[in-house]
Amino acid sequence: MIHYENPRMIVGCIPVWKDRILIARRAIEPRYGLWNLPCGFLESGETVEEGAKREVLEETGAEVDLIRLHTVYNLPHARQVYLIFLAEMRSEKSMTTTESSEVRLFAAEEMPWSEMAFTSSTFALQNYFSDRKTDNETLHLGTYRPE
Does position 1 have pLDDT exceeding 70, yes or no? no
Mean pLDDT of 107-135: 96
3 domain-assigned: yes
71 domain-assigned: no
57 domain-assigned: no
Question: What average pLDDT is seen over the chain?
Answer: 95
Does position 48 have pLDDT exceeding 80, yes or no? yes
Query: pTM above 0.85?
Result: yes
69 domain-assigned: no
35 domain-assigned: yes
Q: b/e string for 47-81 if b means 16 or more Cβ within 10 A?
A: ebeebbbbbbeebbbbebebeeebbebbbeeeebb
Cα separation, 58 vs 63, whole angstroms: 10
56 domain-assigned: no
Q: pLDDT at position 3, please?
A: 63
Q: Which domain holds residue 105?
A: 1-46+83-142
Nearest to 52 by CA among 100, 80, 11, 1: 11
Q: pLDDT at position 36, please?
A: 98
How confident is the model over 62-101, as pLDDT tens digits? 999 999 999 999 999 999 999 999 999 999 999 999 999 9
CATH at residue 22: 3.90.79.10
Q: pLDDT at position 2, please?
A: 64
Domain count, the chain: 1
Distances (CA, A) of 73 to 26, 36, 87, 91, 94: 20, 15, 17, 28, 26
Does position 147 have pLDDT exceeding 90, yes or no? no
Confidence of residue 14 (pLDDT cuts 50, 70, 90): very high
110 domain-assigned: yes
Q: pLDDT at position 43, please?
A: 96
Q: pLDDT at position 5, please?
A: 78
Does position 59 have pLDDT exceeding 90, yes or no? yes
122 domain-assigned: yes
